[in-house]
């Protein structure tokens, strides 16, 4: 049981580190909290057995690093949308061009062809 919680703590702390350096760093909180939980349980079970392995404090340090990187990115990174007016103008222009192209197309439909089409009613 102690080995399972130690492995889960190490796995989730590494996952938290990976998420914290990616652009989706806000998601690093969930594996970090799981890593803290697994580390505390593994530490408690190791303390109960009388021998604490060095990997358990290491996972706690990794988790603290992931949380600090995530907090730094949350505090100092701004996501701004700048100058959306030019995109809106370009979108309107492309829409008008598409409408002009569609208006120029002549589609001839023969009425006899429509009568022979069977629908799955």
Cβ proximity of 26 and 74 under 8 Å:
yes
pTM, full prediction? 0.63
Residue 92 tokens read as 């309107």
Instruction: Please list, in sequence order, all residues whose beta carbon lies within 8 angstroms of the beta carbon of residue 16, skipping any fewer than 6 positions away.
Output: 28, 31, 32, 35, 62, 63, 66, 67
pLDDT tens, 40-73? 999 999 988 888 888 999 999 999 999 999 999 9
pLDDT in tens, 77-119: 877 767 778 888 889 999 998 888 888 777 776 666 666 767 6
Helix (H, G, I), strand (E, B) or coil at 52: coil
**What are the helix (H) ranges across 50-84?**
55-76
Residue 119 is predicted with a pLDDT of 67
């Amino acid at each position: 049981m102690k080995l399972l919680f130690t492995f889960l703590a190490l796995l989730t702390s590494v996952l938290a580190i990976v998420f914290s350096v990616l652009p989706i760093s806000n998601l690093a909180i969930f594996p970090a909290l799981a890593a803290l939980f697994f580390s505390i349980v593994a530490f408690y079970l190791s303390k109960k057995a009388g021998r604490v392995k060095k990997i358990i404090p290491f996972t706690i340090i990794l988790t603290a690093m992931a949380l600090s990187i995530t907090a730094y990115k949350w505090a100092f990174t701004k996501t701004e949308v700048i100058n959306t007016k030019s995109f809106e103008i370009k979108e309107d222009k492309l829409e008008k061009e598409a409408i002009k192209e569609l208006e120029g197309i002549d589609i001839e439909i023969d009425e006899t062809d429509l009568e022979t089409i069977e629908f799955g009613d």
